[in-house]
Structures are given as structure tokens and as C-alpha cells.
């Protein structure tokens, strides 16, 4: 098919701009509402087209210059060509449409998106990909739509500056390290106190020699407070030097005058990438829970206790369930360190745990869930527990809408939903949604 001219109407989940060609939807990455673009069709289906941008015939007045020279090549960002307020507007519209179209939810109160205070420099963790191109070390991120590594010596503008310093310190070490050919990735994370932790993934045969070499180089890595080595695809990270966990604070006064909580996460455990926006999630969950002190709460996909422990200050009992054992170890340690005695945690597949709880006839006043991007397999099972109140934290509007549809079919009603922009410069969006038992 010859190149076609497309007028871009809006943005869609997935990051592409949407136009129409003879009635068919046409999705084009890196376009903006108001663009007229010359587009090359790369995929044609019965009801839609996918295209690539060839030329901007008439650029949108919304466009702005991307600050990153790798934008459009590196696969990390989708919308650096748009001013941040427009990104927030588009995310709100995409979120509302997802709930209506996929969840068939009709009229639901959707609150305005809570924008991130930092549009750049907000990420607290990144994955550095490593490869060699013509014998030259490449350290950066995957190219859009591929596993080819884009070298990023200048650092990443959405990463916290400390993560970029950590990367710049690692680059010369890796360049002179023979074992670097067996290192496909290094995970870098920071706590909100700006302590830095690196996890080196290793696929070679002499982890001991590599550990000794990395330990000897500690003085050349002043921004890295701790380094761990992960052997093979599924090995647990093992300490090489320094700290083994990171921490973040839930400050005093955030939750109705409660004391500060300090939570750790370690050994590959999950944490939100935007600490300031994580506080918005916690505040929303606790406020909407509206606990009076006598309730029993079930926290599914509880991780290190990110929601469990703040909620425990207002509940009779909190039970947390998580499938990743090191995160449960963190949750137990966090409860002890913060003097929380009414929270217990168990390692289990979440869907299996919910089925077991339901079969035993256990009851909870509130269920909180924060599943991964794939959503909650347990959504249908949660309705069997018959909690009066459900709060669903999601990082994917499409799977959220699907699961809300399941819960509504099980007797629940969506009260309201609060989008929270955890991921500026991308199409991704976090949200908190409240459900209650229908009358």
C-alpha cells in the first residue's frame, strides 16, 4: 500500500495516535492530536491499520521538542513530544474510555488524574541492558519493538539523577571487564534517602571470580551503596558488598496524624517507581477505606506491606497475601520494625489463597488488591468472600476494566476511580478504584 495521509484525532492506550482511513482506525506511534501525518502502513487487519510515521505534513500545535536525543529510538518513552499537561489530559480520557468500553461500566465517577510533581527524573529504578556492537560495549535500553540495545551514555531523563550517576560509574568498569559478555542486565534502584542498590545478572560460569572483581572495584562505584549478584535465570541475588535492602518513608501526618512508617524492600522485591506518587496511592487507599478500628482487612498482592501496614493503624486485623517469598519476608520485618502487631502475612498464590479462605467461610470487611499488569485471576473468587468493600489498585486500565466487569457481575458496584500518573512521558497509568456490595 502506498503511503497515506492521516489526521490524528487523539491518543490511545499503547501510546499511539489514532486517525481514520476510509472508516478504519489507524494507529501511529509518536504522533500527536492535531497532526496531519504521512504514514506507511505496516499491518492491515479487517478493522484497523497500524502505521509508522514517515513525515509530518502539518505538525500539531501541541508538539514540543523532546529533551532526550534517543526519543523514538529507545523504547522507554512514548510521549516526550507532548507537554506534560496534555499527557495528563490524554491519560484521563483514555482511562475513562477503557472503563466504559471494556468494563461496560456506564456512568462511573472518575476523578481528575493526579499529576506527578516531577515530569522527569522521577524513576527510582531502571534496568540497564548490556550488549556489544562491533566489539564496543553498549549500556542502555532496548530499542522500540526489539531487543537491540540502544547505547545511552548521556543518561536517561526520566531516571533519578542518582541512577544516572550509578550507570556512569558502572560503564568504565564493564568496558574493561572480560565477564561483561555474560552480563545481560543490571537492575538499579534507590530508596527515598538516595541510597543506591545494584543487582548484576550473570550468565557465565565463574560467579565467584566476578564477585571478587566487583568487590575490588567498590571504590570506583561511590554512588552504589550495595551490590548483589544474581546467577542464572532464577537464582536469588547474593550480596557482594554493602547494603542489601532499600527503604522509603510514609511520613508522619500523611495519614490522619499517624506516626512515620519506614518500609524496606530487598532481593528483587517490588516497589513503585515514583515515590511521591506512591504516597498518593497510599493516602487514597486509606482515606477510601474509611476504617473505624474494628474491621478485618485482606490485602492481596501485598508485597512488602505497602498498603497493609498503613491500613493496620486503622483496622482490627490485616492479613496480607503475596506469592513472592522475599517480599513477605520484607513485610514481616517491616511490621516488626514499625511496631505493627495486628498484621500477618503469608506466601501463597493469590487465587489459591482466596479460594481457600472462601471455602473456610472466612469473612473480611475490606479487600485491597494491587495485582501485576496482567490483572487479578482471583477477581471472580473475591466476590465469594463477600466483603462489603473492595479497593482495587491497578497499573493497567484494560485489565482493570475487565476485572471490574467480573466483580460487578458478582454483585458489586463501582463507586469511584482515581487515576494517578506514576509514569510521565509514557502511556502507562496507575489508579485506585472503590467498589461496594450492590443493594
| Residue 291, all three cell numbers | 476504617
pLDDT by residue (tens digit) across 144-186?
A: 889 999 999 999 999 999 999 999 999 999 999 988 999 999 9
Would the pLDDT of 267 be above 90? no
Crossing angle (nearest 10°) for helices 84-101 and 397-409: 30
Highest mean pLDDT among 110-119, 254-263, 397-406: 110-119
Average pLDDT of span 375-393:
90
Would the pLDDT of 385 be above 90? yes
What is the predicted pLDDT for the residue at 144?
87
3-state secondary structure of 256: coil
To the nearest whole percent, how much of the chain has pLDDT over 90? Answer: 86
Average pLDDT of span 389-416:
94
Kindly report the pTM of this predicted structure: 0.94
Average pLDDT of span 372-377:
85
Q: Which of 20, 77, 82, 31 is nearest to 54 (CA)?
A: 31
pLDDT tier at 200, thresholds 50, 70, 90: very high
Would the pLDDT of 339 be above 90? yes
3-state secondary structure of 402: helix
The sheet that has 196-202: what strands, in order across it? 149-151, 136-142, 125-133, 185-190, 196-202, 226-231, 238-242
Rounded to whole angstroms, the Cα distance separating 419 from 397 reads 9
pLDDT by residue (tens digit) across 406-435?
A: 999 999 999 999 999 999 999 999 999 999
Q: Which of 287, 248, 255, 250 is nearest to 271 (CA)?
A: 248
Residues with catalytic function: 395
pLDDT by residue (tens digit) across 286-298?
A: 999 999 999 999 9
Longest dimension (CA), the chain: 67
H or E element at residue 175: helix 161-175
Average pLDDT, the chain: 94
Pairing verdict, β 136-142 and 185-190: unpaired
Ramachandran class of 161: left when φ > 0, alpha when ψ lies in -120 to 50, beta otherwise = alpha
**Which contacts of 338-342 are long-range, i.e. CB under 8 A and separated by 24 or more positions?**
338/261, 338/262, 338/263, 338/309, 340/309, 340/312, 340/313, 342/312, 342/315, 342/316, 342/317, 342/318
Would the pLDDT of 5 be above 90? yes
pLDDT tier at 10, thresholds 50, 70, 90: very high
Average pLDDT of span 107-134:
94
Please report the domains of the chain, with CATH numbers, ordered by start residue.
4-63 (2.40.50.140), 92-117+269-437 (3.40.50.150), 125-190+196-242 (2.40.50.1070)
Burial environment of residue 341 by CB neighbours within 10 A (0 to 12, 13 to 18, 19 or more): exposed
Phi first, then psi, for residue 88 (nearest 5°) are -65, -40
What is the predicted pLDDT for the residue at 189?
96
What is the predicted pLDDT for the residue at 380?
84
Would the pLDDT of 257 be above 90? no
Alpha carbon 12 to its chain centroid, in Å, reads 19
pLDDT tier at 131, thresholds 50, 70, 90: very high
Pairing verdict, β 48-58 and 36-44: antiparallel
What is the predicted pLDDT for the residue at 256?
85
* DSSP structure class, residue 120: S
Would the pLDDT of 1 be above 70? no
* DSSP structure class, residue 323: S
Rounded to whole angstroms, the Cα distance separating 39 from 295 reads 57
Per-residue CA distances from 192 to 124, 186, 243, 251 (Å): 8, 20, 15, 11
Amino acid at each position: 500500500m502506498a503511503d497515506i495521509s492521516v489526521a490524528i484525532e487523539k491518543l490511545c492506550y499503547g501510546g499511539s495516535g489514532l486517525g481514520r482511513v476510509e472508516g478504519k482506525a489507524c494507529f501511529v506511534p509518536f504522533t500527536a492530536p492535531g497532526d496531519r501525518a504521512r504514514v506507511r502502513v505496516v499491518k492491515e487487519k479487517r478493522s484497523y491499520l497500524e502505521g509508522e510515521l514517515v513525515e509530518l505534513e502539518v505538525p500539531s500545535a501541541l508538539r514540543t521538542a523532546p529533551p532526550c536525543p534517543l526519543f523514538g529510538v529507545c523504547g522507554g518513552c512514548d510521549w516526550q513530544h507532548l507537554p506534560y499537561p496534555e499527557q495528563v489530559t490524554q491519560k484521563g480520557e483514555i482511562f475513562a474510555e477503557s472503563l466504559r468500553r471494556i468494563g461496560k461500566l456506564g456512568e462511573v465517577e472518575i476523578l481528575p488524574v493526579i499529576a506527578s510533581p516531577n515530569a522527569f527524573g522521577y524513576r527510582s529504578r531502571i534496568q540497564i541492558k548490556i550488549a556489544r556492537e562491533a566489539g564496543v560495549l553498549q549500556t542502555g535500553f532496548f530499542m522500540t519493538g526489539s531487543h537491540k540495545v540502544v547505547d545511552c551514555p548521556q543518561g536517561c531523563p526520566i531516571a533519578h539523577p542518582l541512577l544516572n550517576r550509578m550507570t556512569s560509574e558502572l560503564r568504565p568498569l564493564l568496558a574493561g571487564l572480560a565477564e561483561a559478555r555474560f552480563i545481560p542486565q543490571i537492575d538499579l534502584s534507590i530508596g527515598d534517602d538516595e541510597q543506591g542498590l545494584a543487582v548484576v545478572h550473570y550468565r557465565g560460569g565463574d560467579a565467584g571470580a566476578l564477585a571478587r572483581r566487583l568487590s575490588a572495584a567498590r571504590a570506583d562505584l561511590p554512588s552504589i551503596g550495595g551490590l548483589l549478584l544474581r546467577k542464572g535465570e532464577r537464582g536469588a541475588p547474593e550480596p557482594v558488598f554493602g547494603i542489601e535492602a532499600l527503604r522509603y518513608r510514609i511520613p508522619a501526618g500523611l495519614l490522619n496524624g499517624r506516626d512515620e512508617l519506614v518500609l524496606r524492600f530487598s532481593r528483587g522485591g517490588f516497589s513503585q517507581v515514583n515515590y511521591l506518587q506512591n504516597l498518593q496511592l497510599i493516602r487514597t487507599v486509606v482515606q477510601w477505606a474509611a476504617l473505624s478500628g474494628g474491621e478485618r482487612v485482606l490485602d492481596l498482592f501485598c508485597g512488602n506491606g505497602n498498603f497493609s501496614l498503613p491500613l493496620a493503624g486503622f483496622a482490627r486485623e490485616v492479613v496480607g497475601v503475596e506469592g513472592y517469598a522475599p517480599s513477605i519476608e520484607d513485610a514481616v520485618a517491616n511490621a516488626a520494625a514499625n511496631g505493627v502487631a495486628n498484621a500477618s502475612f503469608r506466601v501463597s498464590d493469590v487465587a489459591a489463597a482466596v479460594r481457600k479462605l472462601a471455602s473456610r467461610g472466612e469473612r473480611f470487611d475490606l479487600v485491597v488488591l494491587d495485582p501485576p499488569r496482567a490483572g487479578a485471576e482471583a477477581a471472580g473468587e473475591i466476590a465469594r468472600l463477600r466483603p462489603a468493600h473492595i479497593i482495587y489498585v491497578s497499573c493497567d486500565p484494560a485489565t482493570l476494566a475487565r476485572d471490574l466487569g467480573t466483580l460487578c457481575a458478582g454483585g458489586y458496584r463501582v463507586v469511584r476511580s482515581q487515576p494517578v500518573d506514576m509514569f510521565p512521558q509514557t502511556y502507562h497509568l496507575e489508579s485506585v478504584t472503590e467498589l461496594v456490595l450492590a443493594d
